[in-house]
Structure 1
Amino acid sequence: MHFAYPPRKSSSPPPFRPRSSKAPLLRRSRLRTAALVLLTILGVLYLLSGTSGPDPYHEHVPSGHPSVVIVTVIDPATYSNAYLKTVQENRKQYAAKHGYETFIAKADDYETGGYQRSWSKVMAMRHALSKFPDCKYIWYLDQDAYIMEPSRSVEGQVLAPRTLESLMIRDYPVVPPDSIIKTFAHLRGEDAGLIISQDKDGLASGSMFVRNGDWAKFVTETWMDPVYRKYNFQKAERHVLEHIVQWHPTIFSRIALVPQRTMASYTHTQLGDGYQEGDFVAMFKGCSILGDNSCGEESRRYWEKFQQAMAAA
């Protein structure tokens, strides 16, 4: 029986041809394109969802409780402890009567970088805004002053919008005597951010109101910028305030200037409007550290008047 032999393979096989790589490359290209399209779609959906949802950043809106925080910086190295005790009592008793809060700090609580200790008042104001985020106003009042009319609220004296508008000094040089920058003629009371008066030298920064909010934080942080301290202005933070008020539109646009006797009457009349019976605040600016003209001695009769007024209120 004969079997057919299978055909013999050629001893000369065809040359080797590598398998085509076009198909895998095409698949990888398509996968990349699909991935990019998918990422693009997801990105668009994320952006759309973000714009339709609530803004993740919200500036805190103060509730107004407390309505006012009285801020004072005391310096035991300058004034006697007995006098400073009356200053603190003056603030606390007045605040308690009207439902306000007090923030009493010491000058050495803050690092002023080797510059004048008076810079601590700006730092204390910023500190108070952080400590009382829901207050409506802070009232900075220097340590050389007493509140003299405890029956009056600060709202009735100056802060109520209509009252403030009736007091505003409009279209007037913001820093006397001849600043070309003049206060706004049409500022509304509810839009005022800094309420301040003038004395014979310039802005009377020993007594001023700052409305709480993002504007107040901006002002205080700009004011205490280390760059300004390095300028070495003659009157330190007071001259810096006058500088930024005149040359920074964001700050200047919300300045309300009021008559000095509204909240900063001076017992030394050569420095500004003199204190008269019935004025809201008596400031002993210019008193000495020691001697018969010391702040402690000068303040005695005003402290007695305040105590009598508290008893009668």
Structure 2
Amino acid sequence: MHFAMPPRKTSRPPPYAARQSKSIGIPPALRNLLRDRLRLVLAVIAAIFTLFWLLGRSSDGGSAVRLKAHAGSGAPVVIVTVIDPTADRTWTEKIKKNREDYAKRHGYSTFFPQNDDYPLKGAPNSWAKVPALRHAMTLNPTSQWFWYLDTTALIVNPSIALQSHALNPSKLEKLMIVNEPVVPPDSVIKTFGNLKGDRIDVIVTQDKDGLCQSSFVLRQGEWAKYFLDAWFDPIYRSYNFQKAEAHALEHIVQWHGTILAKLAMIPQNAINSYVAGPANAKNGKYTEGDMVATFFGCDKEKRNCIDEMQPYFDNLEA
């Protein structure tokens, strides 16, 4: 007599078996609803943690950057001046008004951060101009040019528009000083002689000692971000250069061909005439009619910027 053998068990159940086992318990519709709700809760928790993190950074004793929640003015030129909160308030308000009046006249915009808005890690406050420009670019993504103007400088001929005066490519090519030492008098690194105005991204001047930071112009773009990041490198800030960011700038211009290839050096009196200080002997001394009067060092060495600038303020207000 033969008995029927029981069916053999397999370790590979047919597909329907798996589907059948999953159907036991929570219905699929309810399971999907719970999963979606869980995702929503996790997203809300992540958003709350992010919000608290941002609030903590913004209230960090002034060391974090004070961001503004706007997309910028769209102005073709943004004038950036870093304010020292410990300086005389009356003077700094006059400086700000000087830029604002000029900007309103030509359809430009202004940005006035404070030097304690940025974590400089013990470096001199003069370094703040570098992150301030990066900050201004972030706030004004549709603006093309950013003009850094130090508090020791005044726009004394507001009728001159920066765009037509120095930024127009054909005009810029006529102003460019080529085949000249980057650092006078005998640097072996010289400005390029075959650059086109529409390829320039940073415009600087030179006094008798070297490249100036009182007044310079930078074009918006990825190259500008690279340039500012290279300039603000922690190594340079900690290197203890004698003239801080000024010597760091000269270093990167001379040692990085990618920077020199985008740089135009123009006559000092085009945007940075010195009323006092080490003016370029050829073209640096202020004369009436110049666009900018710079009182180099008036905030140091027991001098008084207000006293030195007051006659020029009076002329502008007359």
TM-score, with length taken from structure 1:
0.75
Partner of residue 294, structure 1: 304
1:241-300 Cα distance to aligned partner (Å, 9 max, x none): 000011011111111000000000011154442211000000111224596x40010000
**RMSD (Å) for aligned C-alpha atoms:** 1.8
- Specify the code of the residue in structure 1 equivalent to 2:224: A
Alignment of 1:227-246 (within 5 A): 227-246=235-254
Query: Are the equivalent residues in 2 in contact too, given 1:148–1:279 (CA < 8 A)?
Result: yes
Bigger Cα Rg: 1
Q: Cα offset for 1:224?
A: 0.6
Partner of residue 65, structure 1: 74
Aligned to 1:121, which of 115, 118, 129? 129
Secondary structure at 2:187's aligned position in 1?
coil
Secondary structure at 1:305's aligned position in 2?
helix
- Specify the code of the residue in structure 2 equivalent to 1:82: T
Q: Does 1:275 align with 2:282?
A: no
Q: Does 1:155 align with 2:166?
A: no
Would the alpha carbon gap of residues 262 and 88 (structure 1) be closer, same or farther in structure 2, given more than 3 Å must change? same
Q: Which has the higher contact order (CA 8 A, sep 6+)?
A: 1
TM-score, with length taken from structure 2:
0.74
1:102-149 Cα distance to aligned partner (Å, 9 max, x none): 010111111100110111111101111111111110000001111011
Q: Cα offset for 1:74?
A: 1.1
- Specify the code of the residue in structure 1 equivalent to 2:205: S
1:155-214 Cα distance to aligned partner (Å, 9 max, x none): 121111111111000111112111111111110111111101100110011100001101
Partner of residue 316, structure 2: 306
Structure-2 separation of matches of 1:209 and 1:84: 21
Structure-2 separation of matches of 1:269 and 1:238: 15
Secondary structure at 1:181's aligned position in 2?
coil
Structure-2 separation of matches of 1:269 and 1:198: 12
Would the alpha carbon gap of residues 289 and 171 (structure 1) be closer, same or farther in structure 2, given more than 3 Å must change? closer
Q: Does 1:192 align with 2:200?
A: yes
Partner of residue 178, structure 1: 186
Structure-2 separation of matches of 1:274 and 1:294: 20
Q: Cα offset for 1:65?
A: 3.1
Structure-2 separation of matches of 1:300 and 1:130: 34
Q: Cα offset for 1:305?
A: 1.7
1:192-241 Cα distance to aligned partner (Å, 9 max, x none): 11101100110011100001101101000111111111111111111000
Secondary structure at 1:241's aligned position in 2?
helix
Query: Are the equivalent residues in 2 in contact too, given 1:64–1:136 (CA < 8 A)?
Result: no
Would the alpha carbon gap of residues 296 and 136 (structure 1) be closer, same or farther in structure 2, given more than 3 Å must change? same
Structure-2 separation of matches of 1:98 and 1:288: 29
Query: Are the equivalent residues in 2 in contact too, given 1:147–1:306 (CA < 8 A)?
Result: no
Would the alpha carbon gap of residues 288 and 129 (structure 1) be closer, same or farther in structure 2, given more than 3 Å must change? closer
Secondary structure at 2:288's aligned position in 1?
coil
Would the alpha carbon gap of residues 265 and 288 (structure 1) be closer, same or farther in structure 2, given more than 3 Å must change? same
User: What percentage of residue pairs aligned between the two structures are identical?
Assistant: 46
Give the unaligned 5+ runs of structure 2. 1-71
Secondary structure at 2:224's aligned position in 1?
helix
Query: Are the equivalent residues in 2 in contact too, given 1:73–1:107 (CA < 8 A)?
Result: yes
Aligned length: 245
Partner of residue 84, structure 2: 75
Aligned to 1:205, which of 193, 203, 213? 213
1:65-88 Cα distance to aligned partner (Å, 9 max, x none): 3210000001132x3111111100
